Amino acid sequence: MINELRVKSIEWFKSLYEMDFIIVDTETTGLNTSLDEIIEIGVLSKDGEEIFESKIKPIKPISRGAMEVHGISEKDVVKSPKFYQIYNELRRIMDNNNFVGYSANFDYEMLINNCKMHSCEEIKILEVFDVMTPYSNYWGEWNEYFGNCKWQKLTEACKQQGIRVENSHSAIGDCKLTLELIRKISSLSID
């Protein structure tokens, strides 16, 4: 079963890498996609070009738990633009693009709900591709309780693949790690 999941995962990564896409990552005020806000966003091209990076001043305070993860404090965002002030640029970059990320479903939900929160039109993404589950299936650490493969954190996944971890928990840093992981797994042969 694990070997079959591993093969399917490699095939998924190979297929993904043949597409056009952007990699997106966010840092947020918390984990509630309906109530929390994006406080940093990074967008990277498939070729590794930094397309967009910005801190964002939220309406709500940054939770202590979130601050402990990403290290972004209120002081770090006090002079940053608000979401609606960077929205047009984000829309220009993201409209009609495939949205890829490690835990991309979370980042996409945050983006959509931040658009609603700031009375901005929804950004029209072609498709969302979340790298976390296919990678976890590739790694194959089975969880008997849940009956699936245990999710691997991005930094752990990169370490498992011999990818040097730098600037983790910065939006653009996590985009770069995700791209390296995609490149690594998509280059593997299936035997």
| Banded pLDDT at 166 (limits 50, 70, 90) | confident
List, for residues 71-101, the tens digit of each pLDDT value: 999 999 999 999 999 999 999 999 999 999 9
Token output for 180:
């390296």
Is 99:24 a contact under the CB 8 Å cutoff?
Answer: yes
Domains of the chain: 2-186 (3.30.420.10)
Q: Is 40 helix (H, G, I), strand (E, B) or coil?
A: strand
User: Does the pLDDT at position 177 exceed 90?
Assistant: yes
List, for residues 103-136, the tens digit of each pLDDT value: 999 999 999 999 999 999 999 999 999 999 999 9
Q: Which helix (H) or strand (E) holds 39?
A: strand 38-45
| Banded pLDDT at 2 (limits 50, 70, 90) | low
**What CA–CA distance (Å, rounded) separates 60 from 37?**
7
Given this model, what pLDDT does residue 168 score? 77
User: For the chain, how big is the Rg over CA atoms in Å?
Assistant: 17
Is 16:178 a contact under the CB 8 Å cutoff?
Answer: no
* Of residues 150, 141, 84, 142, the one with CA closest to residue 114: 84
Place of tokens 């991309």: 104
* Of residues 172, 129, 154, the one with CA closest to residue 41: 172
Q: Is 127 helix (H, G, I), strand (E, B) or coil?
A: strand
User: Does the pLDDT at position 1 exceed 80?
Assistant: no
**What CA–CA distance (Å, rounded) separates 23 from 87?**
17
**What CA–CA distance (Å, rounded) separates 190 from 73?**
45
Strands (E), the chain: 22-28, 38-45, 50-55, 98-101, 127-130, 142-143, 148-149
